[in-house]
A and B are shown apart, each in its own frame.
Chain A
Amino acid sequence: MVTRVARKVAGLVATLLATSFVIFGAAYAAPGDPVTFLAGGKENLTPEYLAAIRAQYHLDDPFLVQYLRWLGDAVTGDLGRSLKYNDQVGDLLTARVPTTLGLVAYAAVLFVVFGVALGVLAAVRGGRTDAAVVAGTTFATSVPPFVAATALISLFGVQLGWFPVGGGGSLWHLTLPAITLALGALAIISRVTRQAMVEQRELDHVTVARASGLSERLIVVRHVFRGALGPIVTMCGLVTAGLLAGTVTVESAFQLSGVGTLLVGAINTHDFPVTQAVLLLMVTAYIAVTTLVELVQPLIDPRARSRS
C-alpha cells in the first residue's frame, strides 16, 4: 500500500515536471520578445535600456538556468510577478480561481445529474425515448458555447429577467454560465451511460437476477447501473478535467473574471509569468481530477483492488 502510494506520487511529480518544462519552453520559444513590452513605449528602445531590463528580469541567462530559477521559485510558491498588472501572479490566481472552480463544479453537478439521468432513461426505455435523448443531447452539444451563451442570456437574462446577464459573485450569477458549460458535456455523458448500461444488461448475471424474481427496477439499480458505474465515473471525471481548461469562452461571454479570461489576456499581452502559471495550474487540476478518478475505481470494482 505504501509503495503503491509512493509510486503514484512519484509519477505525479514526474508528470508535473515534464509539463512545466514544456510550458516554460513553449513560452520561451513563442514569437515576440517580452523585453519590448517591458520597455514600454518606442522611445525607450535603446540598446542600453533593453540590456538593463534583460539583466533585471534575468532574460539573458541560458534557457536551462531561467527554467530552473523559475521552477525553484514556483516550488516555494513564488510564481513571479505579472509583467502587465505588476502584481504577484499568486495573488492574481487566488482572486480568480474560485470563480472558475465554482463554475466548473456547478457545471459538473449539472451534467452528471442530467447526463446520467438521460442516459439511464434512454437505456431503460429504449425506442423513441432513446432516439429523443440522442437527438436532444447531440443538438445541445453541437451548439457552440458562445451561441448557447447568447441565446441563454437573451432568453433568461434579458427577456424573462430570471438571471443576471453577466458578472460573478454568487450561484445565481453562475447558473447561466454553468448551464452553457454543461450543455456541451450532456451528449457524451448520456451516451456513455446508455452504452455502458446496455452492455451490462446483456450480461448473464443480469438474466440470473431476473430469473430469481427480482423486479426490473431493482435489476436496473442493483445490477445494470451498478455495473455501468465504472465507465460513467471515469467519463464524468475526464470531462470535468477537460472543462477546467475550457472555460474561456463561457467566461468571456458572461464577463466572469476567471482563470480562462486571465489566460487569454496574458497570452495576448505576452505576460509570460501569468501564462505559465495558469497553464501549470490547469495541468495540475487535470492531473488531480484524473488521479482522483483512478483512486475511486477500486472502490467501484473490487477486481481492480486485487489487480493493483
Chain B
Amino acid sequence: MLLEIRNLTIEAGGNRPILRDVALSVARGEVVGLVGESGSGKSTIARAVLRLLPQNAAARGQVLVEGQDVLSLDDGGLRSLRAATVSMIYQDPRSSLNPVRRIGDFLTERMVHTLGRGRKEARGRALELLAAVGMRDPELRMRQYPHELSGGMLQRVVIAAALAADPALLLADEATSALDVTTQAETLALLRGVQAERELGMLFITHDLHLAAAYCDRIYVLYAGTVVESRPASALFADPRHPYTAGLLACTPELGDPRPIKPIPGRPPSLDDAFAGCPFAPRCAHAVAACASSPPPSVAVEGGSAACHLIKEEAPAC
C-alpha cells in the first residue's frame, strides 16, 4: 500500500482531538476522495502525511508512506520524503508561490536545492513539465512572476512543480476549489491525466461530495475528525449508508429532480465541542438514545465501512 494511515489521532489543545482514530489507505494508481465540511480535519490528514502539523499538535498512530512511518522519520528522511515521494497541491495557487520569485525558480527550487540536480538539467525538466501541463510558451513563463499569470495558469504551474520530483503520491487539498468552473474542469482533467499516465496514488480532498463521487475511485467521508463512511464512489453515491453522507448528498439541488433541497440542520462542530457518543447525533434526524452515549463502532457495509449505530452488520457481498 502506498499510503496507509492507522489509528491516527491528533490533538492540539481543543476539547476534542482534531482527528480521532482515522484509518485510510491509498494504493498506487488509485484516486481516493476525502470529503467533509470545513473544520472536519481533511487538511490535517494531508498535512500529517507530510508531517506539517502545528507546533502544539500531538500525533498518535501511524502514517505509513511506502511502509515508512512519517511520524517517526528523522529530519533527513522527512526532507527526502517531502522532496521526492509525496507532493501536495494547495487550494490557492496564488498564495502557494513566492510573489517575488520567478516561475522558473519555483519549478527548479526543489530539483536544485533538495534533490541536488544541476541547474541546467532542472531547467530542461521544468520546461518539459510546463509543456506537459499544457502551458504555451514555457520559455516565457519561466521568466515571469506569479502576478503576471492567471489563477488557472498558476495552478498548472503548481501541478508541474508537484510532478517535478516524480512523486508516488499526490495530495490535492481543495486543488480546484478556488478556480472558476471552466478552469476547474481543465485542472481536474489535467490532474486525472497525469495521475493515470504516471500511475500516481492521489488523495483528493474536497468539500464537494458530488465532485468526489464522479472523480474518485473510493471515498472517505469525514465528520468532526472521524471517518464516518468509507466506500467505493459509485456505491456511496447510489446508496449512502451513513445519515451524514445521505445528508450531504441531499444538500445539492439537481436539475430535473423535484426533490426539495434539504440542508443538514445545525453547524459543523468546532474543536471546543466534545462528544461522548456519535459526533453527528446532535444534527441527525434518525438519532436514537444510544447515539448520544457511546461512539458508534465501524461496521462493514457493502464495499467498505460506516460508523453508525443504526447500521446492522452485513455479510460481505460476494
Contacts and interface: CB of A to CB of B under 8 A. Distances in A.
Asked if A and B bind, the verdict is yes
B34 interface: no
A211 B98 contact: no
Contacts of A226: 98, 100-101
Contacts of A209: 98, 109
A213 B98 contact: no
B100 A213 contact: no
B82 interface: yes
B93 to A, nearest CB: 10
A300 B100 CA distance: 7
Secondary structure at the B interface, as helix, strand, loop or mixed, is helix
Contacts of B113: 214-215, 218, 222
Contacts of B165: 212
Nearest to B86: A211
Interface residues of A, number: 22
Contact of A211 (B80, B88, B97): B88
Interface in A41-95: none
A213 B95 contact: no
Interface in A263-304: 300-303
30 contacts: A204-B90, A204-B95, A205-B97, A205-B98, A205-B99, A207-B52, A208-B88, A208-B90, A208-B96, A209-B98, A210-B52, A210-B82, A211-B50, A211-B82, A212-B110, A213-B80, A214-B79, A214-B110, A218-B113, A222-B98, A222-B109, A222-B113, A223-B98, A226-B98, A226-B101, A227-B98, A302-B100, A302-B147, A303-B100, A306-B148
Interface of A: 203-205, 207-215, 218, 222-223, 226-227, 300-303, 306
Given A208-B97, A212-B82, 14 more contacts: A203-B95, A204-B90, A205-B98, A211-B50, A211-B88, A212-B110, A212-B114, A213-B80, A214-B109, A214-B110, A301-B99, A302-B145, A302-B147, A306-B147
Interface of B: 50, 52, 78-84, 87-88, 90, 92, 95-101, 109-110, 113-114, 145, 147-148, 161, 165
